[in-house]
Amino acid sequence: MALSSYQAKDLFQWFIDKEDIVVLDVRNSTDFNRFQVESPYPFEMINVSYYDFMETEEECVAKVPKGRAIRIVCAKEGSAKYVGEILLKHGFDDVCYLTGGIKTWGNLLVPKVVKESDDYTLYQFIRPGKASCSYGLCSGEEMMLFDPSRNIEFYIDFAQKKNCKIIKTFETHLQADYIAGSRQIAEKTGADFFGGADFEGTKAGNKTVTEGEIHTFSKSGPEIKVLFTPGHTPGSLTFIVDDSYMISGDTVLIQSIGRPDLGGKVDEWAVLLFNTIQKVAKLDESLYVLPGHYMDWNEANENLIFCQTFKDVQQRNKEVFSLTDKNDFIQYIKDHMRKQPPEYALIRLANGNMEQYDPDKQEELDLGKNECAATAYAQAQAAKENG
Taking contact as CB under 5 A, which single stretch among the options 96-104, 192-200, 243-251, 338-346 is the one that binds Fe ion? 243-251
Site string for Fe ion, 355-374 (x = CB under 5 A): -----------------x--
Applying CB under 5 A, the site for Fe ion has a residue count of 2
Residue number, 250 or 299, with CB nearest to Fe ion: 250
- Footprint on residues 166-185 left by Fe ion (CB under 5 A): none
Q: How far apart are CA 63 and CA 185, in angstroms?
A: 45
Those residues whose C-beta lies under 8 Å from the C-beta of residue 91, and which sit 6 or more positions away, are 66
| In the complex, minimum distance from the CB of residue 100 to Fe ion, in angstroms, rounded to a whole number | 27
| In the complex, minimum distance from the CB of residue 252 to Fe ion, in angstroms, rounded to a whole number | 12
Locate all alpha helices (DSSP H) within 18-177, ordered by sequence: 29-34, 50-55, 57-61, 78-89, 102-107, 152-161
Residue number, 101 or 291, with CB nearest to Fe ion: 291
Query: b/e string for 339-369 if b means 16 or more Cβ within 10 A?
Result: ebbebbebbbbbbbeeeebeeeebeebbbbb
Q: Nearest to Fe ion by Cβ — which residue?
A: 250
Contact assessment for residue 132 and residue 108, using Cβ atoms and an 8 Å cutoff: no
Taking contact as CB under 5 A, which single stretch among the options 134-142, 220-228, 246-254, 300-308 is the one that binds Fe ion? 246-254
| In the complex, minimum distance from the CB of residue 204 to Fe ion, in angstroms, rounded to a whole number | 15
Q: Which of 25, 77, 142, 250 binds Fe ion (CB under 5 A)?
A: 250
| In the complex, minimum distance from the CB of residue 195 to Fe ion, in angstroms, rounded to a whole number | 13
Site string for Fe ion, 63-102 (x = CB under 5 A): ----------------------------------------
Query: b/e string for 231-267 if b means 16 or more Cβ within 10 A?
Result: bbbbbbbbbbbbeebbbbbbbbbbbbbbbbbbbeebe
Residue number, 25 or 147, with CB nearest to Fe ion: 147
Strand partners, 193: 169
Residue number, 79 or 248, with CB nearest to Fe ion: 248
Among residues 255, 273, 249, which one has the least CA distance to residue 332? 273
Residue number, 104 or 134, with CB nearest to Fe ion: 134
In degrees and rounded to multiples of 5, residue 245 shows phi and psi of -125, 140
Q: How far apart are CA 371 and CA 378, in angstroms?
A: 7
Residue number, 42 or 264, with CB nearest to Fe ion: 264
| In the complex, minimum distance from the CB of residue 56 to Fe ion, in angstroms, rounded to a whole number | 43
Q: How far apart are CA 282 and CA 321, in angstroms?
A: 11
| In the complex, minimum distance from the CB of residue 134 to Fe ion, in angstroms, rounded to a whole number | 12
Q: How far apart are CA 39 and CA 297, in angstroms?
A: 8
74 is catalytic: yes
With binding defined as CB under 5 A, does residue 253 bind Fe ion?
Answer: no
CA dihedral of residues 246, 17, 110, 9 (deg, nearest 10): 170
Name the catalytic one among 60, 74, 96, 164.
74
Question: Which residues in this chain contact Fe ion in the complex, by CB under 5 A?
Answer: 250, 372
Catalytic residues: 74
